[in-house]
Amino acid sequence: MQKIFKKYTIIIMSIAVLSILVINFFLSENALRGRQLETFHAKIDQVIQTMENNQTELASIKKNLDEDYLTRARAAAYVVEKNPGVLDSVEELENLASLLNVDELHVTESDGIIRYSSVPKYIGLDFHNGKQMRGFLPILESAGGDEYIIQEAQPNTAEKKMMKYVGVSRKGVKGLVQVGLEPVRQMEAQERNTYDYIFSRFPTDVGEGFFAMDVDSGEIVAYTGRSEEIAGLEDRGLESLKKCETGAFQILAGGTQNYVVTRSHEGVLIGAFISNAALYHTFWKNILLTFLYLLAVEIVAVLLLNYLVKQKVVSGIHKLRDGLSRITKGELDTTVEVGGAPEFFDLSHGINSMVKSVVNSSDRISKIIAMSQIPLAAFEYQNDMDYVFVTSKLGELLDMDKEMLERYTKEPAAFLQMIRVFMEGPVENEEDVYRAGAQKYVRIHFTIEETGYYGTVTDATKEMMDKRQMLYENNHDQLTGLARYPYFKETASQVLCSLKEDEICACVMIDLDAFKSINDTYGHDVGDRYLQEFAQVMKELPKDHCLVSRRSGDEFCIFVFGFETEDEIRTLLDGFWKELHTRAVSLGTGEKCMISASGGYVCTNDREMSMIRLLQQADKELYEVKRKNKGHYSWRQCTR
């Protein structure tokens, strides 16, 4: 008792510890993921804020530079207007460009060709050529005198060098003056406004990484971390990463799992990720410490409870056990008295009352069984008895007359042998069911112990008959009484596998001719009679040589076995078709029609042949007969 209590106490405490540990695990994990989600949201907010600040700065720089560059271009146009002689010398134009602090100075006339330039190699270039240069043609095409165009920084037409050009219309002359500068400050500001630049200067913890994905193309445009991790992110796909706004685990390159958080901003999906190893670095240590603390509590609790149970419960239970042991040995006059607790006193009183009640229970049970109408009988024998106790219905259930039953009850060994003989041949596929006559079945439950043996016998005849009827209905067609196709295949396969060396078998596929026309013309009742009459001819085939089945509708099967030659099979089938030609079916209008069927069969003596293969080849042969010679049958030798 104490060992059992200790065992179950340990089990219960262990379950409690594990439950607490599991709950703590999930709560701690959710808290960990929640903290990481908040951290990533804060860092992504910082990235977005930095990007927006840089955009504001870039817009301010661009505005100031545009105004400054336009002022320089207009100053150049003013100098050219007031001092046209400056155009006569490249050196003069270079000095003017240096004075205005621009990198290039170009002057055209109305034809749009650069006639004067501080960069000699650009002289002769046509503003009609190149996307960058064509951007200034509206100035030449305009009738106004104060037109200007400020281009964004882009590769120029001549050398693909990153430049920013500003063009203004000339004063008093059709043409334009253009200045060009390398936008160093603007380019530096643009560089600071990229995710690569922000990520490169953004503080990250161990195992963390950031990425930015273009929403339109799904390509990573900036990232921190290993390239294989970024490839893994691209493999996950844009839609999958969009679902990580509230945090989700994704498997990246190498099968490693990462916790990913994303947010969309101006056509870019910004994300942060951290590997499971980094995320759970301290988590597992905390879980292990919690487990150790709980384990220590469990050990202390088990030891304390074990001591209390031993002192307060086990000693009283031992006294009860000793008293019950004497009672079970036959000392029914034993009185159990255990004190120490009200519960033990009540239990002792209950045991003593129960023993008094059990003394006469055998007589009462026997009378109750005899009075009932339930087909149940019981028997019992104890080693100190010189007879077998049986109830009145035992002889009826075991099909014994009164004299035979009395003789067996007086010889316990013979009774035991009789029960064992009954149980030597159980009904196939049934548990504890045995034959007690031609159409009678009983269920016997029997137990042998050191002190004797006992058992019960119940009538199982109706149960078995119901099962047999159900099995028959499940395996046979209701209309024709023929075997259903699955049952036919299973039975035929078993026969084929047990084919003898000198035996041959055949699989016949049959189809009724014009059955659909009869069914449609005269109705389903006539069609059913037609099917039943045909099935009756099939059932007249010798059962020790033929298995017959309705496959479906007007299709039927015959499996012929137990012959040594194919001539014997053809003789049987010739007789079958001859008999068909003598059977007429009433059409209900005073007319009759003869049964007509087409068939094809294949023969084999190969026990390894598949039944499905035989049926398929017989079906092919039937198709040929239906096509060429309805109302007859043909055959072929089966091949693998």
Q: How many helices (H) and strands (E) does the chain have?
A: 22, 24
Strands (E), 266-374: 268-275
| Strand ranges (E), 93-147 | 104-108, 114-117
What residue type is 334 in one-letter code? T
Beta bridge partners of 213: 220, 269
From CA 499, how far away is CA 486, in angstroms rounded? 20
Q: Per-residue confidence at 329, pLDDT binned at 50, 70, 90? A: very low
Residue scoring higher pLDDT (59 or 1): 59
Distances (CA, A) of 313 to 9, 70, 316, 349, 352: 15, 103, 6, 17, 20
Least confident window among 45-49, 52-56, 96-100, 330-334: 330-334
Residue 462 has pLDDT above 90, yes or no: no
Q: What mean pLDDT is predicted for residues 428-450?
A: 80
Residues in the chain: 640
The rounded Cα 524 to chain-centroid distance in angstroms is 46
Mean pLDDT of the chain: 82
Q: Which of 143-152, 220-229, 339-348, 423-432 has the lowest mean pLDDT?
A: 339-348
- Helix/strand/coil for 449: strand
Compute the distance between CA of residue 441 and CA of residue 445 in angstroms, rounded to an integer.
Answer: 13
CB atoms under 10 Å from CB of 183, counted, come to 21
Instruction: Tell me what pLDDT residue 536 has.
Output: 94
Which sign does the torsion angle of CA 540, 546, 547, 550 carry? Answer: negative
Structure tokens at 93: 């134009």
Q: What percent of the chain has pLDDT over 90?
A: 21
For 355-390, write each residue's pLDDT tens digit.
666 545 545 555 665 565 677 888 888 887 778 888
- The DSSP output letter for 339 is -
Taking the whole predicted model, whether its pTM rises above 0.85 is answered as no
pLDDT in tens, 235-277: 667 777 777 888 888 776 666 788 888 888 888 888 888 878 7
Cα separations (Å) of 398 from 217, 377, 562? 86, 10, 40
Q: 371 by DSSP, 3-state: which?
A: helix
The yes-or-no verdict on residue 488 having pLDDT over 90 is yes
CA distance 43 to 32: 17
pLDDT of res. 487: 92
Q: Which residue has the higher pLDDT, 368 or 623?
A: 623
The rounded distance, in Å, linking the Cα atoms of 69 and 177 is 12
Name the residue with higher pLDDT: 242 or 73: 73
Give CA–CA dist 186/472, Å, rounded: 93
Span 559-593, pLDDT tens digits:
999 999 999 999 999 999 999 988 888 887 778 88
pLDDT at 287 over 80: yes
Placement of tokens 């050398």 in the chain: 159
pLDDT tens-digit readout, 463-475: 777 787 787 778 8
What whole-number distance in Å separates Cα of residue 239 and Cα of residue 144?
Answer: 52
The angle, 0 to 180 degrees and rounded to 10, between the axes of the packed helices 90-99 and 2-82 is: 130
Task: Calculate mean pLDDT across residues 41-60.
Answer: 81
> pLDDT grade, residue 443 (50/70/90)?
confident
- In this predicted model, what pLDDT tens digit does every residue of 499-529 receive, in sequence order? 988 899 999 999 998 888 888 888 888 899 9
Give the amino acid at 618. Answer: A
For the segment 135-144, the average pLDDT, to the nearest whole number, is 85
